[in-house]
Structure 1
């Protein structure tokens, strides 16, 4: 009979053999690496006004919120952030959570139950996958961006309430969802379309208001928006945006909201300050696309609709080796490996940053072009070795 220690050792051995072992690497505050792995696309996390607001909030309110939102954890900062997020994105109301993961868990689990049908794109984020599973609803996973498949599943729903899950900009391939068509399909069947704008907010749309706003879907009654505050806004937390009735329902029924300690005041203040900086600099998101186009061109890969560029690699081991080579040259990049990639192809994950000066940006491109030329081998952009969707993680 094997022990738990034996099982854990065997699990690690299997991960190492497949090149999938992950380790934590603490980062120092004075780290001078060129960081193209983090999600602070606009550089707002280090903006002086954002840092000052977060520091002042910590001094005034303390290190944490002290309780859940429904007890004493809701501060005036949370209310102000929710009001301004809703106004910026064109939604009636917003509700802030401690993480974007909790925002997705709350939106789905509070709206779905055993009598609900969930139709999910095969490439959605792990938080939406986990939310669907926890909801106890019937789940149908459809091929990536396949509107006809969504329509067919909703037609067969048999009168059940239905949710459709997608992202505005997908985090691995960097493509966008057919949101207009999906909204039309959902409206025709009275289904709700839950759209994760984690990689759209601050990057796309008028002044970074997101893809839904750009398409005129920001106030559509069949669309629910979720977002994170930890990417373009450079802080921490998440939000669900929609009608006042939706927010009221989440406050009363969303377990990740009800039983979780509220977002720390410093993070709320930082996100609020970042939002105000973004609102006052509406041309800032355009710089992401300028630099993204330059980077994609130099690396010889397709452009991303958002700020994350992924470069396919022939194997997990080669991806990790390329990542290490870039790090040795002073550039930090991320690495997508199974089961985090929906199509099974390992990739370097490179985020476009506006906050870098021109010299450091040029240096980063030079290093990455050399590393990818040394390490990459021809690899298809589709599935390799069979589909691995998020629902198989």
Structure 2
């Protein structure tokens, strides 16, 4: 029989406590989810600003549905590019101070499109070791040589750069999805400029949250298009819709729409989703109270977690990993938290490096402070019992 490795690989994952399965969300409301008939406070969502359950966004979706098609019906270079898409792109250009914006159906495809297209003639890619899988997979599928520098290690990156030696793309995240820490973007920008390299920033977890008005890492760091020529952001986290964008110069835009296969041969984002996303982006800009509440919740979590002796990282973002190490122990602590009514993600290899399994607590402006205190007590009790 062919493909015998399938059963063997699944058995190996199960034996190492790495097997994964879906969890059906039967209902959801204001920071809670119902799974297998039980309600849990949801501390695994990337809905950092609580917009997914907001009445304002629900109303925007209802309004948009009255005059917008649900499907684009074609790729963007055929008949799939509509006024709804253009309105969303124009708004992002204005907000981000960029020449052009391209829309994608996911951040994964956006990163793959940029990396594989721009490196189609070879060159080298220098990526932070903890860059998202979409970035690393895109690099491996390109014609370029991939080198990975130690996480947030600017000195290591500097040693890898060969000034003007060949076409070089540097890649990092604004906020790292598993550790919650931020990249030293200003230092990386300076290195990229000195080496005449392109810099790609994946700001999936910073966009909507960081910066005075939620424009992300570029606003927080005052990064112009010249300083940061390639910006990728997603709509499925703080913006609470779906899809992604790449903000870039006119020349790079023209190159991608002519050579990026992920863009050319994919049906466009739903025009209805584009309208709802635009409405959500305006709420992100307007509702400063959401970022203020999130900041308060992050501060409370860290103060209480440190007080309880939880092994938290130095993250000051909505992503708060609780390091445990072993996958089996991480699963047991997550199961205990669920028994107390809290849903927390157990992150294990290959999502995180071997031996660094952790609970990935994600905070939102929708969480009440008493819920956070109860969660911390449950995690402290679970860790004490298991570890």
Q: Spell out, residue by residue over 1:334-378, the C-alpha distance to the aligned partner (whole angstroms, 9 max, x if none).
A: 12100101464001111111123x3xx413431342233322699
Matched length: 373
Deviation at 1:27, TM superposition (A): 0.6
Q: Please name the residue that 1:349 is paired with.
A: 360
Q: Which runs of 5+ in 1 are unaligned?
A: 380-393
Match of 2:327 among 301, 310, 316: 316
Measure, in 1, the Cα distance between the counterparts of 2:344 and 2:183: 25
Confirm whether residue 365 of structure 1 aligns to residue 373 of structure 2.
yes
Confirm whether residue 116 of structure 1 aligns to residue 123 of structure 2.
yes
Which deviates more from structure 2 when the two are superposed, residues 242-251 or residues 196-205? 242-251
Measure, in 2, the Cα distance between the counterparts of 1:208 and 1:304: 18
Measure, in 1, the Cα distance between the counterparts of 2:344 and 2:353: 19
When you count helix as a share of all residues, which structure comes out higher?
Answer: 1
Measure, in 1, the Cα distance between the counterparts of 2:179 and 2:376: 19
Measure, in 1, the Cα distance between the counterparts of 2:194 and 2:64: 46
Q: Please name the residue that 1:340 is paired with.
A: 351
Q: Please name the residue that 2:91 is paired with.
A: 84
1:41–1:307 Cα contact (<8 Å) kept: yes
Which deviates more from structure 2 when the two are superposed, residues 45-54 or residues 121-130? 45-54
Q: Please name the residue that 1:24 is paired with.
A: 22
Confirm whether residue 10 of structure 1 aligns to residue 4 of structure 2.
no
Match of 1:64 among 71, 87, 92: 71
Q: Please name the residue that 1:134 is paired with.
A: 141
Measure, in 1, the Cα distance between the counterparts of 2:97 and 2:297: 28
Which deviates more from structure 2 when the two are superposed, residues 259-268 or residues 13-22? 259-268
Which deviates more from structure 2 when the two are superposed, residues 263-272 or residues 17-26? 263-272
Give the alignment of 1:171-320 within 5 angstroms.
Answer: 171-300=177-306, 301-320=312-331
Measure, in 2, the Cα distance between the counterparts of 1:241 and 1:343: 34
Measure, in 2, the Cα distance between the counterparts of 1:214 and 1:17: 44
Identify if the C-alpha distance between structure 1 residues 269 and 376 changes in structure 2 by more than 3 Å, giving closer, same or farther.
Answer: farther
Confirm whether residue 326 of structure 1 aligns to residue 324 of structure 2.
no
Q: Spell out, residue by residue over 1:167-197, the C-alpha distance to the aligned partner (whole angstroms, 9 max, x if none).
A: 1111111111111111111111110110111
Measure, in 1, the Cα distance between the counterparts of 2:47 and 2:353: 23
Deviation at 1:137, TM superposition (A): 0.6
Deviation at 1:287, TM superposition (A): 2.1
1:123–1:342 Cα contact (<8 Å) kept: no
Deviation at 1:222, TM superposition (A): 4.8
TM-score by length of 1: 0.89
Measure, in 1, the Cα distance between the counterparts of 2:322 and 2:384: 9
Q: Which runs of 5+ in 2 are unaligned?
A: 29-33, 307-311
Which deviates more from structure 2 when the two are superposed, residues 346-355 or residues 263-272? 263-272
Measure, in 1, the Cα distance between the counterparts of 2:213 and 2:66: 31
Deviation at 1:62, TM superposition (A): 3.7
Q: Tell me the secondary structure at the aligned position of residue 219 of structure 2.
A: helix
Q: Tell me the secondary structure at the aligned position of residue 239 of structure 2.
A: coil
Q: Please name the residue that 2:309 is paired with.
A: none
TM-score by length of 2: 0.90
Measure, in 2, the Cα distance between the counterparts of 1:365 and 1:136: 50
Measure, in 2, the Cα distance between the counterparts of 1:222 and 1:63: 34
Deviation at 1:61, TM superposition (A): 3.4
Q: Please name the residue that 1:383 is paired with.
A: none
Deviation at 1:306, TM superposition (A): 2.1
